[in-house]
Amino acid sequence: MSSLQSNASVSRKPGAQPRRSSLLRLSGGALIALIALAALIAFVAVPRLSNDYWLSAILIPFLVLSLAGLGLNLVTGYAGQLSLGSAAFMSVGAYATYNLLVRAPALPLAVDLLLGGLITAAVGALFGLPSLRIKGFYLIVSTLAAQFLVEWIFTRVSWFSNNDGSGVLSAPTLSAFGLKIATPAARYLLVLSVVAVVFAMAFSLVRSELGRRWMAVRDMDTAARVIGIPVGRTKLLAFALSSFVLGIAGALWAFAYLGTVEPHGFDLNLSFQVLFIIIIGGMGSIGGNFLGAAFIVLLPILLSHAAGALASVGIEAGQLQNLQKILFGTLIIVFLIKEPDGLARLVQTARNRLRDWPLRA
């Protein structure tokens, strides 16, 4: 997989000053007003105007998958460590948070999510140990082993399921600040709040010294070691922080979307979905996670609405799932060859051209 390239530079005339991004060129007041408007729309307008179907079946999985994509992007897009165990770490976060809710009901929900993420971070660092010795395809295989091992443990060891023999646990009713989180709108606001906080932290993290170390290790770990970067510690931190985010995403996936906690809800297909999100959206891009998740969530819906038109060309309704897999596979190949940085780079290029259009005219 290709590493993240530097942001596309805007063509300039000789002697012209470098152009700053449109976001950075906004004044402090305008930027605050833009953020406040976006928050007002997301937190107030959307839950009031959207119906239960849009909230439960589209917006909540879109937000959770965006968060999962962010988790994988930290370790793969920024640190360059390939992983195919995203769903396994999500399941660890879901089961850890479930046991905290059941066995320590006095703890606030925010603390449960935080501790569930920390437990997942420890598990992720453990499975990240092979990255100290191996890389590439062999690292993918080692993280893939986590997928099957974690699922086997949660299936065989009944303690994690609170000794429930059914194997499918109903998610407990969530509450925060004395208010029950039972309606689709309440679950949407919970997920949106967590996603907003985690993305804000990740935005600052990838621009910190640790983020620069990740990118140095990703581009050439030998050179990073020569200039004094502790490569082993940097890789393990990438796995730990990635798993932390994935653990929180897994808890939200189980409690706010599925409504159940079960190993088969975090199967290998989910790991591939998260991988497709960062390939299609853009590896090494914060905003690309939203673009990739939107594509993953909306494509099946668009295909179902186009079932009538597809039937006229000989594609039956039962073949839509196969068609979806074909489209995903084709797009993965196209993006890896033509645009390794995904939809995020295409959006950035279009924005730059639109911004420079008056100058060219």
pLDDT at residue 24, as a whole number: 44
- Mean pLDDT calculated for residue range 237-253: 96
The answer to whether residue 338 is domain-embedded is yes
pLDDT at position 46 over 80: yes
| pLDDT-derived band at 330, boundaries 50, 70, 90 | confident
- With tokens 């033509």, the residue in question is 338
pLDDT at position 183 over 60: yes
Structure tokens at 268: 């290998």
The answer to whether residue 220 is domain-embedded is yes
The answer to whether residue 21 is domain-embedded is no
| pLDDT-derived band at 3, boundaries 50, 70, 90 | very low
* Bridge pairing between strands 174-176 and 179-181: antiparallel
Cβ contacts of 298 within 8 Å, gap of 6 or more: 58
- Nearest residue to 241 via CA among 147, 118, 126: 118
Burial class (CB in 10 A: 0-12, 13-18, 19+), 20: exposed
Structure tokens at 332: 């993965």
The answer to whether residue 19 is domain-embedded is no
- Greater confidence, 348 or 293? 293
Give the span between the Cα atoms of 79 and 210, in whole angstroms.
10
pLDDT at position 14 over 70: no
pLDDT at position 87 over 90: yes
- Read off the pTM: 0.87
Give the chain's domain count: 1
The answer to whether residue 304 is domain-embedded is yes
The answer to whether residue 90 is domain-embedded is yes
Give the span between the Cα atoms of 342 and 287, in whole angstroms.
11
The answer to whether residue 42 is domain-embedded is yes
Quick: pLDDT tens for 271-299: 999 999 999 998 999 999 999 999 999 88
| CB neighbours of residue 204 within 10 Å | 10
- Mean pLDDT calculated for residue range 142-165: 88
Instruction: For the chain, give the secondary structure using H, E and C.
Output: CCCCCCCCCCCCCCCCCCCCCHHHHCCHHHHHHHHHHHHHHHHHHHHHHCCHHHHHHHHHHHHHHHHHHHHHHHHHHHCCCCCCCHHHHHHHHHHHHHHHHHHCCCCCHHHHHHHHHHHHHHHHHHHCHHHHCCCCHHHHHHHHHHHHHHHHHHHHCHHHHCCCCCCCEECCCEEECCEEECCHHHHHHHHHHHHHHHHHHHHHHCCCHHHHHHHHHHHCHHHHHHCCCCHHHHHHHHHHHHHHHHHHHHHHHHHHHHCEECHHHHCHHHHHHHHHHHHHHCCCCCCHHHHHHHHHHHHHHHHHHCHHHHHCCCCCHHHHHHHHHHHHHHHHHHHHHHCCCHHHHHHHHHHHHHHHHHHHC
Give the span between the Cα atoms of 159 and 230, in whole angstroms.
38
Q: What is the dihedral of CA 142, 144, 150, 151, to 10 degrees?
A: -150
Give percent above pLDDT 90 in the chain: 51
pLDDT at position 11 over 60: no
Residue 306: domain span:
37-355
The answer to whether residue 179 is domain-embedded is yes
CA 26 from chain centre, in angstroms, equals: 28
Quick: pLDDT tens for 116-135: 999 999 999 999 999 888 88
| CB neighbours of residue 346 within 10 Å | 16
- Mean pLDDT calculated for residue range 63-68: 97
Q: What is the CATH number of the domain that holds 208?
A: 1.10.3470
pLDDT at position 308 over 70: no
Give the span between the Cα atoms of 161 and 261, in whole angstroms.
9
Residues 152, 92 contacting (CB under 8 angstroms):
no
- Mean pLDDT calculated for residue range 347-353: 80
Region of poorest pLDDT, from 4-18, 92-106, 147-161 = 4-18
pLDDT at residue 170, as a whole number: 86
Give the span between the Cα atoms of 192 and 189, in whole angstroms.
5
- Greater confidence, 358 or 96? 96
| CB neighbours of residue 308 within 10 Å | 8
